[in-house]
Amino acid sequence: MKITLLTGKIYELSSAFDFPLTVSTSLTTRRMSLRIDTKKRQAVLNLPRLCSYKKAHAFVLEHQDWIETQLAKIPPEKEFADGDTFTLFGSPVTISYLPQSLRAPYLDNGILYVGGDQTFIHRRVKDYIKKEAKKDFLRRSRLYADKLGCHISGVTIKDTTSRWGSCSTLNNINYNWRIALAPESVIEYLMAHEVSHLLHRDHSPAFWHCVKSLYPGAAMGKAWLKANGNTLYKWKGV
């Protein structure tokens, strides 16, 4: 298979490696290393800038069993389907498919009713979650921003794999839609985290003090996200 360096250089590895593998190299990398990116469902090989093909191939071959074992532990992606139950903004929601309904998905007493073609249930549920997340996250973020005397230009809901949220220098905040599926403490923590960046553009002690002052339960939400955040990626994105 081919694995491509971020620099554009391509290594041709043996077809024996039939697992997804991304290769990166940099001037600061001193030795070869491997990790598993559970969000992107692939192994990541980090190489020194002048590493040879032979050494890279041998290193992957040596760790092939470990790579395959770790990749096998990642839960398969799942699409939303009739009868599925998930957590939305901290409350359980069950999907109920209504074949003849032409209405947009709507929530009633914990039941999310979805009509239209059955093959589009996943897309319609995901779009509903993203639409509701935009409103909910904007409301929460503004409440925290008001406490800091700050202004939020807008909130955007994205389907990212690298981060849960981000705050731009123009005070626009981006959130990963899957955060809507996390426990309430996680949602509040992330809102407090990103809003705190309106005042502190780094992760200094002052920043973390700000996060905790906005949401005292931040440590609990942060710990859950670190330990369990990857489970949110079982739900298929794009």
Return the CATH number at 90.
3.30.2010.10
Do 68 and 89 reside in the same domain of the chain? no
Residues 107 and 161 in one domain: yes
Q: Are residues 49 and 113 in the same domain?
A: no
pLDDT for the residue numbered 9? 52
> Going residue by residue through the chain (238 aa), what tens digit of pLDDT does each one get?
344 444 545 455 534 477 888 888 777 888 899 988 887 888 888 888 778 878 888 898 899 889 888 888 777 889 999 999 999 999 999 999 999 898 999 999 999 999 999 999 999 999 999 999 999 999 999 999 999 999 999 999 999 877 899 999 999 999 999 999 999 999 999 999 999 999 999 999 999 999 999 999 999 999 999 999 988 988 988 6
3-state secondary structure the chain: CEEECCCCCEEECCCCCCCCEEEEEECCCCCCEEEEECCCCEEEEEEECCCCHHHHHHHHHHCHHHHHHHHHCCCCCECCCCCCEEEECCEEEEEEECCCCCCCCEEECCEEEECCCHHHHHHHHHHHHHHHHHHHHHHHHHHHHHHHCCCCCEEEEECCCCCCEEECCCCEEEEEHHHHHCCHHHHHHHHHHHHHCCCCCCCCHHHHHHHHHHCCCHHHHHHHHHHHHHHHHHECCC
Residues 111 and 160 in one domain: yes
In a domain, 77, yes or no: no
Q: What is the model's pTM? A: 0.79
* 155 and 40 in a common domain: no
The tokens describing 55, both together, are 């050494």
100 and 151, same domain (yes or no): yes
Taking the C-alpha atoms of residue 52 and residue 79, their distance in angstroms, rounded to an integer, is: 41
Same domain, 59 and 144: no
Task: Name the token pair of 127.
Answer: 């779009």
Same structural domain for residues 36 and 89?
Answer: no
The pLDDT of residue 15: 46
Tell me the residue range of the domain where 146 lies.
85-234
Please tell me whether residues 63 and 91 are part of one structural domain: no
Domain assignment of residue 80, yes or no: no
Q: Which two tokens stand for residue 168?
A: 């731009």
Torsion sign across C-alpha atoms 41, 47, 49, 52: negative
Residue 2's pLDDT is what?
47
Count up the domains in the chain and report the number: 2
- Alpha-carbon distance 90 to 229, whole Å? 15
On whether residue 40 sits in a domain, the answer given is yes
Q: Are residues 181 and 158 in the same domain?
A: yes
Tell me whether residue 34 is in a domain: yes
